[in-house]
Amino acid sequence: MKMEPIIEVKGLTVRRGSAEAISNSTFSIERGDYVGVVGPNGGGKTTLVLAMLGLLPKAEGSIRIMGQEIESFDQWEKVGYVSQFAINFDSQFPLTVKELVGLGRVNRRNMGRFRNKEDWAAVNEALQLMSISNLADKRIGMLSGGQRQRAFVAKSLVSKPELLVLDEPVTGFDPVTQEKFFMQLANLNQKKGITILIVSHDLAAVFCRMSRVLCVNREVHSSAINEGTVPDDVLKRGYGEHFHFAFHQHQCKGVFIDEQL
């Protein structure tokens, strides 16, 4: 029996002001996919993500999440989201890593109570998954960029989501730190079965690690990624006929955990 897609988009059009940012696009994401969202600057990648999360209204079309129309979807605790601006905050704010991650357990049903034993167990598990247990009592402002980003991913994981959406989480990272971060996400995808959708400019990481690519330039073009191949037709439709991406194979499918990231 075929499994229902975790996200199913049909004929989606999204407008930003008077302009069509996403135009009549149809695609689906299967459970367990590791999806890279790529495309030229200004092509609509963040707009697409915000629409799929119900944070931007759609002009036309339909979006289904976990089998429900987005208008009636009521299981948002199963969706983790880290925006591209998540780590931009006052570095002097007196919040520890553990306290930040604990905020991920807050929802409409428990907003009035303090964290209980089950909540703190989930916090500790999320810290371990992102290899930052040793940073639990440090202030967020004391962390490196990579550590801070992992803390926000841990916050999104603490509710045990089935879908994790990250918008350009490695902006400003050096290449080594980027590689380690992508490997950490691959670990979550492979070992925990979490469906991951990540907006990225790193095409090498997308084609090396991920199972599907969405190329966005107003229209959304989708393709599975087969090991060792690049879907040139999809990239050319997104970036233009002149575009050529040279993929250099290397060993990158394994998982890696580094406490110092």
Alpha carbons 198 and 185: distance in angstroms, whole number: 10
If one counts every other C-beta atom within 10 angstroms of the C-beta of residue 145, the result is: 16
Site of tokens 């995808």: 189
pLDDT, one tens digit for every residue, the chain (261 residues): 456 799 999 999 999 988 999 999 999 999 999 999 999 999 999 999 999 999 999 999 999 999 999 999 999 989 999 987 776 666 777 889 999 999 888 765 555 555 678 888 999 999 988 889 999 999 988 888 788 888 988 999 998 999 999 998 877 677 777 777 888 888 889 988 999 999 988 888 888 888 999 999 999 999 998 875 677 778 888 888 777 666 555 555 544 334 444
How do strand 195-199 and strand 163-167 relate by DSSP bridges? parallel
Site of tokens 């090498």: 204
Domains observed in the chain = 7-90+161-239 (3.40.50.300)
Distances from the Cα of 208 to the Cα of 146, 160, 229, angstroms = 20, 26, 9
Task: Indicate the helix (H) or strand (E) that contains 64.
Answer: strand 60-65
Task: Indicate the helix (H) or strand (E) that contains 24.
Answer: strand 19-29
Distances from the Cα of 250 to the Cα of 168, 201, 207, 235, angstroms = 23, 19, 11, 21
Residues 6+ apart with CB under 8 A from 8: 28, 29, 62, 63, 64
Alpha carbons 257 and 110: distance in angstroms, whole number: 33
